[in-house]
Structure 1
């Protein structure tokens, strides 16, 4: 893979992160809808959008994939969200979010044994700074009560599922990104079935309908396609480190929307995350790059 292709793929991965940063803001807009119902509806929007684009390009045949690809895609998309929502239901949100944000660190660490990509002190230092910034921001006031351990285990399991889904996507690089359309629709169906089993349905009002549409176009739909391309053709070590910008940008967006007040903690967290990203992406010494990864 040439350097230009890698940079473009990294850009797509960063686009997914930017969309995920709007999750908190859009979740506020969709307040009142049960979580699984909201997930099912948003993923349906994202899946249908992908279906329309794939059909327009005449690539519907790419939805036919081997069982391994379906298992990887559906387990990753549905498994992560199911575990995340379970964590929020059984543990305090602050603590659950802090544990859940182990996934960027795990992406970087798993890139070595699963993909054979070197890490080095520079990348490990960058991800450490990013995690410190995330812990400072998301973990402010965390107490980890003893009775919350089932939810915290779900949060940790969700982090492992998403990290494995992300890293192993590179092993399935032959599977086209259009196939995410089918994975998204299948995950939406599973979320809908669980919603019908465990939640009471709510008819969305105009505000909630707008939230569903925007979530499907963005963080709970469209972002999956960008992330798939980024993980398959970009640098998972760099993207994993930069992912710590998500909670910082999300917090800043909420502040711009009038939720909360900008303080020293938020500014310091942003500085740590930015510093980690710069350190991890700083050009290293010239040398042979591993297969499929550009130098630097």
Structure 2
């Protein structure tokens, strides 16, 4: 009997998108009390525990052992990239920028992926790809300069650089991870198991443990819903769907929903330039998706 159900997939996909839309707000709530390294340490430990539970429920420990024996050096490298390096750069960007800027800038990772796929995967860029990237990066300038593109004045040049740099790290992670035949949850757990020591040692020697409980709850939330439970919901949605591409399109709702949470929970007054800038970024990403199909 088929387990496919587009309705169930839609519910799971919307749940994942809704949860992902809250994490930018959670980042800022945690960073009001924790350093980026402390946030990363708490969130990584929680995510690792969630993934351990998931692998146990799915009875994939034998697969994990086989994947480690066959590809341990690759997972050691991927674990350094994600969660350690990528999230450290991303959280520092959020620490320096308003959430309404950092979140849309990070969303350009799909455009960065297309650029890096040329030298690393031997893929070609077409005219529509260049138009998509032009739209996306003009959107970045609109958001980063608060609509005054010609001035090239940024609230935090370092923050903007880190936000865009995080897209390079995330794209690299997915390019090298795409070569794996291991189950996604198995590969992700191996990445967190190998990356967690980097996170904990670096956090301990630089910032130590959090001084109190302030911000820890938000960090736990990040660990649960940035890469833990939400990742499972999204995979289940894609697996259950009769039309996976329609579920995949739900992800375009996330940055707009995120702005609602940023405004309502953090109290940030959304600058008028954010909406057209984000529209340009999403337009560029959608244009690429149509080209691929």
Give your verdict on TM over 0.5: yes
Q: Which residue of 2 aligns with 1:7?
A: none
Counterpart pick for 1:272 among 280, 284, 292: 280
Tell me how large the CA RMSD over aligned residues is: 4.4
Moved more, 152-161 or 65-74: 152-161
| Structure 2: distance between partners of 1:85 and 1:262 | 20
Asked if the contact 1:23/1:219 (under 8 Å) is kept, the reply is yes
Q: Which residue of 1 aligns with 2:22?
A: 22
Cα deviation, residue 137, structure 1: 2.0
Check 1:281–1:106 CA distance in 2 against 1; reply closer, same or farther (3 A cut). Answer: closer
Q: Which residue of 2 aligns with 1:47?
A: 48
Cα deviation, residue 36, structure 1: 1.1
1:130 aligns with 2:131: no
Cα deviation, residue 114, structure 1: 2.5
Counterpart pick for 1:70 among 57, 72, 75: 75
Asked if the contact 2:93/2:163 (under 8 Å) is kept, the reply is yes
Cα deviation, residue 221, structure 1: 4.3
Cα deviation, residue 134, structure 1: 3.0
TM-score under structure 1 length normalisation: 0.69
Moved more, 55-64 or 242-251: 242-251
Asked if the contact 1:33/1:204 (under 8 Å) is kept, the reply is no
Asked if the contact 1:13/1:227 (under 8 Å) is kept, the reply is yes
Structure 2 alignment gaps of length 5 or more: 5-11, 238-248
Aligned length in residues? 267
| Structure 2: distance between partners of 1:213 and 1:17 | 19
Q: Which residue of 2 aligns with 1:114?
A: 120
Q: Which residue of 2 aligns with 1:292?
A: none
Cα deviation, residue 225, structure 1: 6.7
| Structure 1: distance between partners of 2:161 and 2:266 | 33
Higher helix proportion? 2
Structure 1 alignment gaps of length 5 or more: 5-11, 231-240, 285-294
Moved more, 247-256 or 192-201: 247-256
Asked if the contact 1:16/1:219 (under 8 Å) is kept, the reply is no
TM-score under structure 2 length normalisation: 0.69
Cα deviation, residue 266, structure 1: 2.6
Check 1:261–1:15 CA distance in 2 against 1; reply closer, same or farther (3 A cut). Answer: same
Where 2:178 maps in the other structure, the secondary structure is coil
Asked if the contact 2:55/2:185 (under 8 Å) is kept, the reply is no
Check 1:70–1:52 CA distance in 2 against 1; reply closer, same or farther (3 A cut). Answer: same
